[in-house]
Structure 1
């Protein structure tokens, strides 16, 4: 396991393991998401949080690949080709909502979901740089996943309920998509989230034996 992989949640590692030859790239993107999550989790000053997120934006746009050199996640993204993935800037925009907004309303939740979730799924799926290149159902699936994940990691029950309600409303847009074989990790992630959203549950903490069995079933039989 590389230094960039340290601290990745078990779910991200398991999902990346289903990416085959693209596993290193997937782990790098998940690690990037984890860095952005840390900014949102540890920053109390909105201006400082925005500066930290802007640093990552500058890294992505650095055509000379010099900025951030030596930072494990930056190096992993460049080595795996993940730095060129579409959706990375959108992910930053999504996480910024949680950094700058003292209270998250419906518009804020939607912006977070579109940015973080839609951007993440586009990045992992290796879609074109234009959002129009990604199927709408894939972006909706990413939004469902991000809202499910948020619901399981916030201390505010009202915000968690609002996230799950929005995720349920998005399910019809995400259901029915045909998942290419190369998108297996995304199919597993969405199916797991879908099951919990319908049951009124957010993302679980950690990796229990029951969750591991659920993931295995989804991987093998699709549900």
Structure 2
């Protein structure tokens, strides 16, 4: 997945990562590849096999598995193959692959794996505070709400995200984690308003992102 294939919001968020922009884009590309597996898998066992292959690539100590695969090459070039949270992301996406109907526990498992893992990977923080995982969960549930055709599942994802928000402390984001602060800020605003994640980046969202970047709210 080249930069040209990354969603516009991902590109905007990564632009705030400064010298870490390549690293952020590579991790987002990995998340996008896992999303494609979840979206295109019709048989759970096949999907699990595809996800297991990615686990094998990440665990390969010699760095030879998957050579030539664009996302893997991008990740290796950016030095993120050992980033914390990558295997958790796979576990989170696996929930959507294997569960025919996602219940509350399934949503929590998905959010903890995909969202918590993604935010730890982007922050490069193996010993991240609990609130960083929770912020990632809110983002993942919000993102899911905008990409499923099942209205009940979308509403349940937003409800679970709101439940996580209600228990979170006041966050003081380190400056280096600005892209994560922005991603979480967008999700938080929509979750509190009961809005699903939009598809693409509208002018309104771009303005919201700018306001968050400048003023933090």
Matched residues in 2 for 1:108 and 1:84: separation? 27
Matched residues in 2 for 1:6 and 1:17: separation? 14
SS of the equivalent of 2:134 reads: helix
Residue of structure 1 aligned with 2:207, choices 200, 213, 219 = 213
- Aligned residue in 2 for 1:45: 43
Unmatched runs of 5 consecutive residues or more in structure 2:
none
The answer to whether the aligner puts 1:127 opposite 2:121 as a matched pair is: no
SS of the equivalent of 1:73 reads: helix
Matched residues in 2 for 1:59 and 1:4: separation? 19
Matched residues in 2 for 1:220 and 1:147: separation? 25
Contact 1:19 1:26 in 2 (8 A): yes
Residue of structure 2 aligned with 1:104, choices 94, 97, 102 = 102
Q: Kindly provide the CA deviation profile for residues 129-180 of structure 1, in whole angstroms up to 9, marking residues without a partner as x.
A: xxxx110111000000000000111111111111111100101343412110
The answer to whether the aligner puts 1:200 opposite 2:194 as a matched pair is: yes
Q: Kindly provide the CA deviation profile for residues 25-56 of structure 1, in whole angstroms up to 9, marking residues without a partner as x.
A: 00000000000000000010111100110111
Matched residues in 2 for 1:197 and 1:144: separation? 8
Residue of structure 2 aligned with 1:31, choices 29, 32, 35 = 29
The structural deviation recorded for 1:207 is 1.1
Unmatched runs of 5 consecutive residues or more in structure 1:
none
- Aligned residue in 1 for 2:11: 13
Matched residues in 1 for 2:75 and 2:172: separation? 28
Count of aligned pairs between the two proteins: 217
Matched residues in 1 for 2:19 and 2:46: separation? 37
Contact 1:136 1:173 in 2 (8 A): no
Say if 1:75 and 1:148 are closer, same or farther in 2 by CA, change over 3 A. Answer: same
The structural deviation recorded for 1:82 is 1.1
TM-score of the aligned structures, taking structure 1 as reference length: 0.95
| Structure 1 residue ranges, 4+ long, deviating more than 3 angstroms after superposition | 172-175
Across the aligned residues of Structure 1 and Structure 2, the Cα RMSD in angstroms comes to 0.9
- Aligned residue in 2 for 1:154: 148
